[in-house]
A = this chain, B = another copy of it.
Amino acid sequence: MKKSNKDKIKIRKAKKSDSKIFLKLVDELAAFEKLNPPDKKGKKQLLKAAFSQNPKIKILISECGSKITGYAIYFFTYSSFKASRTLYLEDIFILEEFRNRGTGKLFFKKLLNIAKKNKCGRMEWVVLDWNENALNFYDKLGAIELSDWKTFRINL
């Protein structure tokens, strides 16, 4: 797809009316990561988590011209030793044909601004170890890998 000057990239908060396209993008990210997307019930729960009065997650949307091209899900965690909040980026996804146009950089700029406004001491996220493009991007951003920590999970 040819980049046109008209295709201005914008990052904004997701609205409830974005739900349908947002859920489609969630499926696309799951396919890209070779993971299971939420099922029908899960998708309903996900929208509730985002658009209820006390939202558990926050969603940003990227637009290129009038097309929704990607999304980011974040929420706040907490660091006991920093004694401050952390902005945790749960997901970031940009449709393949809209990559390499600066959308990812704009997402991170927006997220870092939100983190600063909320007095966060850190921003953190995880990435699959085979996702070379993402790893290169995060390296260029100046992010540090926490290679001396191991993550554990118990599924319930």
A residues bordering B, Cβ < 8 Å? 26, 30, 35-38, 41-43, 45-46, 49, 56-57, 73, 75-85, 88, 90-91, 112, 115-116, 120-130, 135, 138, 141-156
Give the residue name and chain of the B residue nearest to A56 (CB): B78
Give the residue name and chain of the B residue nearest to A153 (CB): B124
Instruction: Given the known inter-chain contacts A37-B81, A38-B82, A85-B56, please indicate yes or no for A151 contacting B122, CB distance below 8 A.
Output: no
Specify which of B81, B121, B129 is in contact with A155 (CB 8 Å cutoff).
Answer: B121
Interface SS of A by simple majority: mixed
The reply to whether A153 and B148 form a contact with Cβ atoms under 8 Å apart is no
Interface centre among A79, A81, A142 (most CB of B within 10 A): A81
Shortest CB distance A59–B (Å): 9
Q: Which 7 A-B pairs have the closest CB atoms?
A: A42-B83, A45-B83, A38-B83, A143-B152, A146-B151, A126-B149, A46-B83
Shortest CB distance A149–B (Å): 4
Q: Complex Cα distance A58/B17, Å?
A: 35
